[in-house]
Structure 1
Amino acid sequence: MTQSIRIDLFTDIICPWCLIGTARLDQALATLPEGVNVEILHHPFLLDPSTPQEGENTRKRLKAKYGGDIDAMQARVQTAARDAGVPLDMSVQPMSYPTIMPHTLIRSAAPEHQYGLAKAFADAYFLEGRNITDKELLADIAAEHGFTREAALTLIEDEAENDITKAMAVSASQQGINGVPFFIFNNQFAISGGQPLEVFQRAFRVALGEEELT
Structure 2
Amino acid sequence: MAELRIDIFSDPVCPWCLVGIHRLNKAIAALNDGTKVSIFHHPYLLDANAIKEGEDSETMLKRKYGVDPAEMWDRLEAEAKKSGLDLDMRKQKMRYPSQAAQVLVAAAESRGTQHAMSMAMSKATYLDALNISDPEVLVDIGTANGFTREEVLALVTREDLQKEVENASVSASQQGVQGVPFFILGNKYGLSGAQPEEVFQEALETVIKEAAE
Query: Do the structures match in fold with TM over 0.5?
Result: yes
Q: Which amino acid aligns with 1:139?
A: V
1:110-149, aligned counterparts within 5 Å? 110=109, 112-149=112-149
Q: Which amino acid aligns with 1:88?
A: L
Alpha-carbon separation, structure 1, partners of 2:178 and 2:18: 17
Quote how far apart the aligned CAs of 1:110 are: 2.6
1:58 corresponds to 2:62? no
Alpha-carbon separation, structure 2, partners of 1:95 and 1:107: 24
Task: Report the secondary structure of 2:77's partner residue.
Answer: helix
What is the aligned-residue RMSD (CA, Å)? 1.3
State the partner residue of 1:28: 27
Alpha-carbon separation, structure 1, partners of 2:103 and 2:53: 18
Contact 1:135 1:156 in 2 (8 A): yes
Q: Which amino acid aligns with 1:54?
A: E
Alpha-carbon separation, structure 1, partners of 2:210 and 2:68: 43
Alpha-carbon separation, structure 2, partners of 1:144 and 1:110: 14
Task: Report the secondary structure of 1:89's partner residue.
Answer: coil
Quote how far apart the aligned CAs of 1:207 are: 1.2
Contact 2:13 2:95 in 1 (8 A): yes
Quote how far apart the aligned CAs of 1:155 are: 0.7
Aligned residue pairs: how many?
A: 210
Alpha-carbon separation, structure 2, partners of 1:131 and 1:110: 22
1:200 corresponds to 2:200? yes
Task: Report the secondary structure of 2:113's partner residue.
Answer: helix
Deviations 1:49-90 (A, max 9, x none): 121101111111111111234211110011111111111101
Contact 1:23 1:85 in 2 (8 A): no
Q: Which amino acid aligns with 1:79?
A: A
Which is further off, 155-164 or 182-191?
Answer: 155-164
- Extract structure 1 runs of 4+ deviating beyond 3 A: none
Task: Report the secondary structure of 1:68's partner residue.
Answer: coil
1:52-201, aligned counterparts within 5 Å? 52-110=51-109, 112-201=112-201
**Superposition TM-score, scaled by structure 1 size:** 0.95
Quote how far apart the aligned CAs of 1:210 are: 5.3
- Structure 2 segments unaligned to the other structure (5+ residues): none
Task: Report the secondary structure of 1:40's partner residue.
Answer: strand
**Superposition TM-score, scaled by structure 2 size:** 0.95
Alpha-carbon separation, structure 2, partners of 1:203 and 1:143: 34
State the partner residue of 2:44: 45
Alpha-carbon separation, structure 2, partners of 1:3 and 1:121: 29
Alpha-carbon separation, structure 1, partners of 2:67 and 2:101: 31
Deviations 1:30-58 (A, max 9, x none): 11111100011000100011211011111
- Structure 1 segments unaligned to the other structure (5+ residues): none
